[in-house]
């Protein structure tokens, strides 16, 4: 008996690994060789391609294709209809399946609806990518980025709230009280 839920219209190929408590919804396709962690939620009309790796508690909203080369760590959120690419220069008449570029979405990062992530980039821990943004380069941990091409406009806490740093470069999340330090253009949570 499966330890995960799959809607009757979902297609799950042989040879994939799906963690306990994961839910896979209407018309989604999980392809062979993919690895999905525990307690994930795979929305309607989602494709998970071969060799994709999803950590625990990854939430993928409707109409997202997660292509070969993508790795999402624990607690990642992928908004509705966001887009990953996996080849830098696609051509219909040229096979580039051996050129898939790796894209890593680090723990706790969120990508907004209709955003595009150009392959070969990394999105740092707890970064927040605004709706419709186009990611063309590395995104720092805790960065808030928007636009096309995406540009950083601030910093966010682990809970996704905008951080305001004082004269000592310390910020406190207004929701949790967690403290953060900004040093050399890098934000870290103070333990």
pLDDT over threshold 80, residue 50: yes
Determine the pLDDT at residue 191: 80
Residues 6+ apart with CB under 8 A from 108: 73, 74, 75, 76, 125, 126, 158
d(CA 32, CA 84): 19
Summarize pLDDT for 119-177 with one digit per residue, the tens. Answer: 999 999 999 999 999 999 999 999 999 999 999 999 999 999 999 999 999 999 999 99
pTM: 0.97
Under the banding of pLDDT at 50, 70 and 90, the label for residue 94 is very high
CA distance 52 to 68: 5
**What does CATH list as the number for 5-90+98-162?**
2.160.10.10
Query: To the nearest whole percent, how much of the chain has pLDDT over 90?
Result: 97
Any residues with CB less than 8 A from the CB of 53 and at least 6 apart, and which?
34, 35, 70, 71, 72
Where along the chain do its domains lie?
5-90+98-162
pLDDT in tens, 161-191: 999 999 999 999 999 999 999 999 999 999 8
Q: What is the pLDDT of residue 136?
A: 98
């Amino acid at each position: 008996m499966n330890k995960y839920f799959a809607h009757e219209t979902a297609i799950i190929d042989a040879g994939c690994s799906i963690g306990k408590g994961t839910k896979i919804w209407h018309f989604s396709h999980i392809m062979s060789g993919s690895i999905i962690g525990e307690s994930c939620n795979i929305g309607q009309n989602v494709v998970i391609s071969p060799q994709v790796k999803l950590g625990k508690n990854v939430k993928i909203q409707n109409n997202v294709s997660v292509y070969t080369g993508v790795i999402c760590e624990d607690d990642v959120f992928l908004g509705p209809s966001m887009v990953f690419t996996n080849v830098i220069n696609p051509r219909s008449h040229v096979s580039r399946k051996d050129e898939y570029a790796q894209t890593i979405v680090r723990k706790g990062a969120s990508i907004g609806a209709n955003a595009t992530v150009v392959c070969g980039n990394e999105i740092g821990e707890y970064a927040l990518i605004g709706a419709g943004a186009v990611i063309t380069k590395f995104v720092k941990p805790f960065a808030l980025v928007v636009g096309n091409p995406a540009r950083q406009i601030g910093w966010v806490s682990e809970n996704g709230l905008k951080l305001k740093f004082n004269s000592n470069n310390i910020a406190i999340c207004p929701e949790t009280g967690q403290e953060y330090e900004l040093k050399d253009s890098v934000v870290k949570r103070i333990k």
